[in-house]
Amino acid sequence: MITFLSGGTGTPKLIRGMRAYVDDREIAVVVNTAEDIWLSGNHLSPDIDTVLYLFAGILNTETWWGIRGDTFLTHEELLRLGEEEYIAVGDLDRAVHIARAAMLNRGLSLTSATARLASSMGVRARVLPMTDTPVATWVQTDAGPLHFQEYWVKYRGKRNITGVMRRSEEPPQATREVLDAIRSSDAVIIGPSNPITSIGPILGCEGVRDALKKQDVISVSPFIGNEPVSGPAKALMEASGYEPNSAGMQRLYKDFCDIVVQDIRDPVRIEGSVQLDTIMSNKEKSIQLAGEIISLVTQK
């Protein structure tokens, strides 16, 4: 069994490739939920949805969010009504948000709600929210604190950020399902996800770091030099006091990471790292990288 720790883009691209080698039933994905938000009365869990849609074969792999071919009738009508939604929610995607909110409002845990959605969509991999405790990433900006979704989607990352916070009413606990998945896996793979906002919240869940220390963990750097391959990782690493490069990532993961995978173009020197082509610009490249990573697991 392979367990991934995942955000919403880099790691799902690697999972896409891994499916060429590993049956979905042998894959567990521990997913960041700190970007979850209630919007338009319902519950978005953007990273969970990306992973669910990927396994269900319905993910829009142009954008890596939402459902392929979805329409935006309600979203567009809201604009005409003067009540713009700052996140573009598709009509089929919205049904998932409504269903999840209904289940949460009935008292189901996010883990149970996700399992039911996965089952309805025919997903056989284990898609596991990192925690059932509501938790959110906020960033401190010049204009005050913003929920990460507001910072990244509403303001398109165009705010200076000076700090990153995680907010929750109680310290988030990893679920039993998450810890079981880590403990029973042959390897844990952290794809090229944002170390601060995608992987950081997972590592912040009580029990995760300790469980990871006992496992073989491979992490793929999302950086080439001082730039992330995509997304807002640079500003977030700097605001958190880390170099925005593979060395900064290594420092964040140093207590549990066994193998660092760097891109072949990455000039930053990491002792003992494996250099691979990590730019997954299409499915074939995802499969190629996944194959090379699988061979690292079996070599050990």
Give φ, ψ of 148 to 5 degrees. -55, -35
The reply on whether position 279 binds a second copy by CB under 8 A is: no
Token digits for 48? Answer: 């969970």
The reply on whether position 107 binds a second copy by CB under 8 A is: no
- The interface region with a second copy, picked from 11-19, 40-48, 146-154, 160-168 by CB under 8 A, is 40-48
Least distance in angstroms from the C-beta of 115 to a second copy: 12
The reply on whether position 275 binds a second copy by CB under 8 A is: no
Least distance in angstroms from the C-beta of 120 to a second copy: 5
The reply on whether position 272 binds a second copy by CB under 8 A is: no
The reply on whether position 124 binds a second copy by CB under 8 A is: no
The reply on whether position 68 binds a second copy by CB under 8 A is: no
The reply on whether position 87 binds a second copy by CB under 8 A is: no
Q: Which position has the token pair 């509403």?
A: 154
Among 25, 57, 86, 120, binds a second copy (CB under 8 A): 120
Least distance in angstroms from the C-beta of 18 to a second copy: 26
The answer to whether 112 and 106 are in contact (CB under 8 A) is no
Q: How many angstroms separate the CA atoms of 66 and 68, rounded?
A: 7
CB burial readout 274-288, b (16+ within 10 A) else e? eebebbbeeeeebbb
Among 26, 91, 180, 292, binds a second copy (CB under 8 A): 91
8-state DSSP, 243: -
CA 95 from centroid of its chain's CA atoms: 21
The reply on whether position 1 binds a second copy by CB under 8 A is: no
Q: Angle formed by the axes of helices 10-18 and 283-299, to 10°?
A: 80
Looking at the chain, the number of H-run helices and the number of E-run strands are 12, 14
Among 19, 21, 40, 134, binds a second copy (CB under 8 A): 40
What type of residue sits at position 120?
Answer: S
Q: Is the dihedral of CA 173, 174, 176, 179 positive or negative?
A: negative
Among 63, 71, 275, 295, binds a second copy (CB under 8 A): 71
Among 95, 143, 165, 264, binds a second copy (CB under 8 A): 95
Total residues found in the chain within this entry: 300
Q: For a second copy, give the closer residue by CB, 40 or 140.
A: 40
Q: How many CA atoms lie within 13 A of 286 on its CB side?
A: 19
The reply on whether position 58 binds a second copy by CB under 8 A is: no
The reply on whether position 88 binds a second copy by CB under 8 A is: no
Name the residue among 168, 37, 133, 43 with its Cα closest to residue 93. 43
Among 26, 60, 108, 116, binds a second copy (CB under 8 A): 116
- Interface residues with a second copy (CB under 8 A) are 40-42, 71, 73-75, 77-78, 80-83, 85, 91-92, 94-96, 98-99, 101-103, 116-117, 120-121
